[in-house]
Amino acid sequence: ALKVAEFLENDDRISWVNYPGLKSNKYNSLVDKYLPNGASGVVSFGVKGGREAAVKFLDSLKVAAIVTHVADARTCALHPASSTHRQLTDQQLEECGVSPDLVRFSVGIENVNDIIEDINQALDKAGK
- Give dist(CA 121, CA 58) in Å, integer: 11
Confidence of residue 2 (pLDDT cuts 50, 70, 90): very high
List pLDDT tens digits, range 57-88.
999 999 999 987 777 899 999 988 777 767 77
Burial class of 18 by CB neighbour count within 10 A (0 to 12, 13 to 18, 19+): middle
Biggest distance spanned by C-alpha atoms of the chain: 42
Question: What pLDDT score does 63 carry?
Answer: 96
**Within 10 A of 9 (CB to CB), how many other CB atoms are there?**
17
List pLDDT tens digits, range 25-48.
999 999 989 998 888 899 999 999
Bigger pLDDT: 89 vs 63: 63
Helix (H, G, I), strand (E, B), or coil: what is residue 18? strand
- Kindly tell me if the per-residue pLDDT of 128 is higher than 80: no
- For 19, list phi and psi in degrees, rounded to 5: -155, 120
